[in-house]
């Protein structure tokens, strides 16, 4: 395993983990909030791409359509989920991501996880679920919220697989790739946000804008670019496992942000989760090529 990539995924887990409880504070319409995030991030990424003398050519833009659809859907479902369910419910579904990627990565990417990696993935998932279920917040939600939480998990799994495939086979530049996805998503979301919302919905408060800026710059720009870069050096299942650390970060951040106290059961589950991630990180992978052969 590339240790630098593993540490990079740890940074992404921290950035993403802080973003979830912050999203809970937003009062804006989900579609408007996602569109605002994209419109803040898109010009910055486009400018960075131009400064690096990279072009958003047709090939990259065509490839970005699928990635943009997955990421935009993931963000929209996430906003709906955290407002129609508890954060605990969303986190339970997130804990299922490594197992889903383990199943999909073998036929689509030709990646085979060893027994130890699979066992540690199960331990980490159990720790993540303990972190969630050990909270004082109940796992709850209506049908729409539960479907949205499931969709968050599935769209992120698809985005992870796509990033790994592109970085391992085509080797798309991470900054250019994320710029293409974000610019395309911003253009796509703008008319839908305007038509589906009332004029009052388009007026974001100061608190909403502060959250949007955090989700746009540290998360959408820094976090996503680092994630895409690391995808070349880590198997899809391994990168998803490392991201489970965001559950620990979310629980810790929810205390000062949302007033949700940490219980001793959560602390125990977090310790188990982090221990499993550490074990996978230090373990030498028997099959972690920088470039994978896609399964026929």
CA–CA dist 261, 137 (Å, integer):
9
pLDDT digits (tens, 9 = 90+) for 33-56: 888 888 999 999 989 988 888 766
**Structure tokens belonging to residue 15:** 């950035």
CA–CA dist 42, 185 (Å, integer):
9
Whole-number CA gyration radius for the chain: 18
Any idea which residue has 């983990």 for tokens?
Answer: 17
**251 assigned to some structural domain:** yes
pLDDT digits (tens, 9 = 90+) for 199-229: 666 778 888 899 999 999 999 899 999 988 8
pLDDT digits (tens, 9 = 90+) for 59-84: 777 778 888 888 888 877 877 887 77
**81 assigned to some structural domain:** yes
**287 assigned to some structural domain:** no
The residue with greater pLDDT, 286 or 4, is 4
Residue 292 has pLDDT above 60, yes or no: no
**85 assigned to some structural domain:** yes
**288 assigned to some structural domain:** no
CA–CA dist 278, 245 (Å, integer):
10
Q: pTM score, two decimals?
A: 0.75
Per the structure, the count of domains in the chain is 1
CA–CA dist 164, 171 (Å, integer):
9
Please check whether residue 109 is in contact with residue 295, taking contact to mean a CB–CB distance below 8 angstroms: yes
**Domain containing 63: what range?**
3-282
pLDDT digits (tens, 9 = 90+) for 149-201: 888 888 888 888 887 877 777 767 888 888 888 888 888 777 777 776 676 66
pLDDT at position 291, please?
A: 39
**293 assigned to some structural domain:** no
**290 assigned to some structural domain:** no
**296 assigned to some structural domain:** no
**Structure tokens belonging to residue 68:** 């943009």
């Amino acid at each position: 395993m590339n240790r630098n990539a593993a540490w990079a995924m740890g940074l992404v887990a921290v950035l993403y983990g802080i973003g979830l409880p912050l999203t809970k504070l937003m009062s804006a319409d989900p579609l408007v909030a996602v569109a605002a995030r994209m419109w803040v991030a898109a010009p910055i990424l486009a400018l960075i791409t131009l400064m690096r003398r990279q072009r958003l050519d047709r090939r990259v833009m065509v490839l970005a359509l699928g990635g943009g659809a997955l990421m935009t859907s993931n963000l929209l479902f996430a906003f709906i989920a955290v407002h129609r369910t508890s954060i605990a419910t969303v986190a339970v579904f997130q804990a299922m991501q490594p197992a889903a990627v383990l199943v999909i990565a073998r036929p689509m990417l030709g990646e085979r996880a060893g027994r130890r990696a699979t066992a540690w993935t199960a331990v980490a998932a159990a720790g993540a679920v303990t972190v969630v279920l050990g909270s004082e917040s109940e796992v709850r939600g209506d049908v729409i919220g539960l479907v949205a939480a499931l969709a968050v998990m599935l769209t992120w799994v698809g985005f992870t697989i796509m990033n790994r495939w592109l970085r391992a086979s085509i080797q798309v530049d991470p900054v250019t790739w994320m710029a293409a996805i974000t610019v395309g998503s911003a253009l796509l979301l703008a008319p839908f946000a305007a038509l589906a919302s009332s004029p009052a919905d388009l007026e974001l408060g100061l608190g909403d804008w502060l959250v949007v800026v955090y989700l746009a710059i540290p998360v959408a720009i820094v976090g996503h670019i680092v994630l895409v870069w690391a995808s070349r050096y880590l198997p899809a299942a391994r990168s998803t496992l490392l991201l489970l650390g965001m559950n620990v970060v979310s629980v810790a951040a929810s205390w000062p942000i949302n007033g949700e106290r940490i219980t001793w059961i959560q602390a125990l589950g977090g310790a188990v989760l982090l221990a499993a991630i550490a074990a996978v990180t230090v373990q030498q992978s028997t099959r972690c090529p920088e470039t994978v052969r896609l399964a026929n």
